A and B are shown apart, each in its own frame.
Chain A
Amino acid sequence: NAGVTQTPKFQVLKTGQSMTLQCAQDMNHEYMSWYRQDPGMGLRLIHYSVGAGITDQGEVPNGYNVSRSTTEDFPLRLLSAAPSQTSVYFCASRVRGGNYGYTFGSGTRLTVV
């Protein structure tokens, strides 16, 4: 049971490049989310999903796309990277309903130059 796995751990992109941050969980969690963490801003929700085929926007969705074709995977796509997207990205998951907490991945540190 690996929990929530994020890849890569570090990435440097040039402005305008595209890339996909991977997130996978093996706990059969229905809910998955992406956050970015910036100094002084805390963690902010980018996109979230309540199940395969269902996604929605969070607080800061601009510049990011997501899809959820399987329960296990929730990739985050940057279509045209900008320096403002330099941040640490975290993926999180939890079971549907009930009163359960979130499990977080170890993060991806992205630098856009």
Chain B
Amino acid sequence: KQEVTQIPAALSVPEGENLVLNCSFTDSAIYNLQWFRQDPGKGLTSLLLIQSSQREQTSGRLNASLDKSSGRSTLYIAASQPGDSATYLCAVVIYNFNKFYFGSGTKLNVKP
């Protein structure tokens, strides 16, 4: 069974700092990996999708990388802002079954 782990569980940083969120998975036979943002009491908003054949994806201040061989992905947030405060979730889709496995998330607090 695919296990997805996110470290740290919570992170508090001052505004303007660059930061890295980590996601690891146990089975490298993934179809793709997706990073989401979840605000309190809200649904999930897709941030970035990385195909299994890709190494990274970028959107604005966000950059996500994928290393299938080591079972790791990172989400890099540049010049963090208080509006970035949310829980960030990574999820992997495994081959053939199109099942989506989630990590427990990293709760980010960016202090003004």
Contact = CB atoms under 8 A, between A and B. Distances in A.
B81 interface: no
Interface residues of B, number: 23
A102 B89 contact: no
Interface stretch (A11-19, A38-46, A76-84): A38-46
B10 interface: no
Contacts, number: 52
Contacts of B99: 45, 48, 58
A33 B98 CA distance: 10
Task: Name A's interface SS.
Answer: strand
Given A99-B31, A104-B44, A107-B43, A42 B102 contact: yes
A90 interface: yes
Interface of A: 31, 33, 35, 40-45, 48, 50, 58, 90, 92, 99-107
